[in-house]
Amino acid sequence: MRIGFGYDIHRFADNRELWLGGIKIPYDKGLLGHSDADVLLHAVCDALLGASGEGDIGKLFPDTDPKYKDISSIYLLEEVVKNVSLKGFVIENIDVTVICEMPKIGPYSQKIEQKISDVLSIDISRINIKAKTNEKIDAIGTGEAIAVHAVCLLS
């Protein structure tokens, strides 16, 4: 059994779509990043890569490589899952905490769980998405960014 932990944070930006967990979330801003900036999937990727001993998302998909510009993070997660599987690991579960003031994540958590479940080919009961605020403290609390913590268990 191996445990992995992932973390990511992205600032909000104008004229961008907001993608979280592979789901387009209606909001007046998106997140700034080289790819689609899906902070949730980036944290999940890092958790999986960490547990499998493969480094992090920046090592596998460097933001200096133009082929990853504006790429869907679903594709990145699919590639990470392939790497994890090739090393002989089975994904047992994923637990995610999204930290932001807005938008409210609760109404989308089940759709996000289903999307991740589909990509990972594991039962939705093994995926858990939680949302927390930062109580109006720091850049997250003032609505400037979204942060995500993710944990996974591999066997």
Nearest to 6 by CA among 36, 39, 33: 39
pLDDT confidence of residue 13: 97
Rounded Cα distance, 80 and 71, in Å: 14
Q: What is the mean pLDDT of residues 124-147?
A: 96
| pLDDT top residue among 63 and 146 | 146
Which pTM was predicted?
A: 0.97
Give the pLDDT confidence of 110-132 residue by residue, as tens digits.
999 999 999 999 999 999 999 99
Burial 32-49 (b: 16+ CB within 10 A, else e): ebbbbbbbbbbbbbbbbb
Q: What is the H or E stretch that residue 36 is in? A: none
Percent of residues, the chain, with pLDDT higher than 90: 99
Q: What is the DSSP letter of 105?
A: -
Sort strands 2-13 and 145-154 into parallel, antiparallel or unpaired.
antiparallel
What pLDDT is stored for residue 93 in this prediction? 98
> Which ranges in the chain belong to alpha helices (H)?
39-51, 57-60, 73-86, 109-120, 138-141
Q: How confident is the model at residue 97 (pLDDT cuts 50, 70, 90)?
A: very high
> What band does 94 get if pLDDT is binned at 50, 70 and 90?
very high
Helices (H) and strands (E) in the chain, counts: 5, 7
What integer pLDDT is reported at residue 113 of this predicted model? 98
Assign domain 2-154 one CATH number from 3.30.1330.50, 3.40.50.1970, 3.60.70.12, 3.40.1160.10.
Answer: 3.30.1330.50
pLDDT given for residue 91 in this prediction: 98
Q: Residue 49 has what pLDDT?
A: 98
